[in-house]
Structure 1
Amino acid sequence: MKKIVTSIFILASSIGFANDTPTISVTGTGTVSGKPDTFSLIATVETSDKESESAINQNTTIINNTVKLLKKAGLKDSNLKTENYTLNYRTDYNTNNNSNSDMKYFVRNQITITSSDLKNAGDILTALNKGGVNNIGEVNFYIADRKELENKAYKLAYEDAKSKASLIANLENLNVTPKNIDLNFNSPRTLPFMLNGSFKGDSAPIPVTVPSNIEVTASLNVTFYMEK
């Protein structure tokens, strides 16, 4: 009886070793490009005064005036959102003397703009500048619906990964089949356009260069079986 048990154990161990299929892990990337169809930016208005009511009124006046100019430039209510309103009482660090006498009320408000009228970006920036906005942040041009481009990028990424794995496997006359796939996607950053403070220029639209194409890149980490 002991001899039979020993024989079964040896047979099972041999089968397990034989089924230990080798694998290879590779990373594939795929990049496609498309034309941007939307832009967005955040404009900030900050006012300060020793009296809270005065600081609030100044901020409200600038916001209301800016919104009117933006609508005159072609934007609608659906393109605009005022948010992140704050009121703080703190030291005014823009003065040389940081004493209690320099304590002020600071009111901060933001206007978030989203529009599909790319050609109007310069007029929008000009309206913000004329309205008295303190800081005009980065203008982001992007593709609102990237699903189709993402799918194409993933397809190219898989083909790239399989090509790399096949190249290695073919050296041993082996074929590859996928075992595990991990998806990664790189959301594209867009136009690095910054305008801090007031733009010193005439009434003409502030020049903005709209990118002709935006790249969408996807990557895959794929593990393949290598089999005959």
Structure 2
Amino acid sequence: MLSPDPSRLPEIAMRLVALATLCLLALPLPALAQEDTPRITVTGSGEAAAVPDMATVRLGVTAQDANAGAAMDSASEIAAAILARLDGLEIAPRDRQTSNISLQPVWQNGEDSDGPRITGYEASNELTVRVRDLSRLGDVLVAVQQDGANRLSGLTFGLQEPGPVMEQARRDAVADAMETARVLAEAAGVRLGAVVSISQQGGGYAPQPMMEMARAAPAPVAAGEAVLNARVTMVFALED
């Protein structure tokens, strides 16, 4: 076997590099082709509603005393009574959760040149409770207030199984995006091609108004409907 002339090795190497470059250029470049393909990006939104079958109540107790420990003990005692009442109302342990416990001083502005001074302490214990039987919601609200709950800070309604409703909201969002893309392509005089990508942004329950509730017996409530929304972004190829 003949060996190449060592003096020609650099020349041979350069020719091999040039040949390899030509071979690469002859191959299809999908990435570059995709970048050159005209595209359109659109967003779509959808929502679906259903009758709620669950309520979430945020309630709590606030107690004040000149002594910090006494204030905390008082709030804890009332909170324990509320939890016991929830047991009697057959609210499962998984459906009630302590969401906040706090203790803070109560300040009072001093007279004349005296600065603010502490006159006592305020302790609070807050609970989040899910009520899965809406027919008993009014009874629950009245009962916890009778046991000493003096803070009812909000009430929202929802679904125990939101999956099917959310699926419909997503379908509506995709249909909305596709219709928008079709109209834009038609107006521009081009044809809509295949879907290049699709992604979802956020989604979930539509905002509900927060309601402050005063003492009432019984407490009337209106569930209305639970609305879930979805939003998608879709990218389509365009054809001449």
Q: Which of 73-82 and 42-51 deviates more? A: 73-82
Larger Rg: 2
Pair 1:193-2:211 in alignment: yes
Deviations 1:26-59 (A, max 9, x none): 1111221122122112212121211123212321
User: Which residue does 1:170 correspond to in 2?
Assistant: 186
User: Which residue does 1:215 correspond to in 2?
Assistant: 227
Give me the TM-score of the superposition, normalised by structure 1: 0.78
CA RMSD of aligned residues (A): 2.9
- For 1:70-109, list aligned pairs within 5 A: 70-88=86-104, 90-93=105-108, 102-109=118-125
How far apart are residue 161 of structure 1 and its match? 1.0
Structure 1: gaps spanning 5 or more residues: 1-7
Pair 1:141-2:154 in alignment: no
Distance 1:185 1:66 in 2: 36
Distance 2:39 2:198 in 1: 13
Secondary structure of 2:212's partner?
A: strand
Structure 2: gaps spanning 5 or more residues: 1-21
Distance 1:70 1:31 in 2: 34
User: Which residue does 1:3 correspond to in 2?
Assistant: none
Q: For the structure 1 residues 17 and 72, does the alpha-carbon distance in structure 2 shift closer, same or farther, using more than 3 Å as the test? A: closer
Secondary structure of 2:222's partner?
A: coil
Q: For the structure 1 residues 153 and 209, does the alpha-carbon distance in structure 2 shift closer, same or farther, using more than 3 Å as the test? A: same
CA contact (8 A) 1:30 1:219 kept: yes
CA contact (8 A) 1:150 1:216 kept: yes
Structure 1: 4+ residue segments shifted above 6 A: 15-19, 95-98
Q: For the structure 1 residues 76 and 167, does the alpha-carbon distance in structure 2 shift closer, same or farther, using more than 3 Å as the test? A: closer
User: Which residue does 1:39 correspond to in 2?
Assistant: 55
CA contact (8 A) 1:43 1:136 kept: yes
Distance 2:117 2:145 in 1: 31
Distance 1:136 1:226 in 2: 55
Q: For the structure 1 residues 149 and 65, does the alpha-carbon distance in structure 2 shift closer, same or farther, using more than 3 Å as the test? A: same
Distance 1:52 1:18 in 2: 69
How far apart are residue 176 of structure 1 and its match? 2.6
Pair 1:206-2:219 in alignment: yes
How far apart are residue 135 of structure 1 and its match? 1.0
Query: Size of the alignment, in residue pairs?
Result: 209
Q: For the structure 1 residues 140 and 101, does the alpha-carbon distance in structure 2 shift closer, same or farther, using more than 3 Å as the test? A: same
Q: For the structure 1 residues 207 and 96, does the alpha-carbon distance in structure 2 shift closer, same or farther, using more than 3 Å as the test? A: farther
Give me the TM-score of the superposition, normalised by structure 2: 0.74
Q: For the structure 1 residues 72 and 225, does the alpha-carbon distance in structure 2 shift closer, same or farther, using more than 3 Å as the test? A: same
Q: For the structure 1 residues 158 and 100, does the alpha-carbon distance in structure 2 shift closer, same or farther, using more than 3 Å as the test? A: closer
How far apart are residue 132 of structure 1 and its match? 1.8
CA contact (8 A) 1:91 1:99 kept: no
CA contact (8 A) 2:110 2:117 kept: no
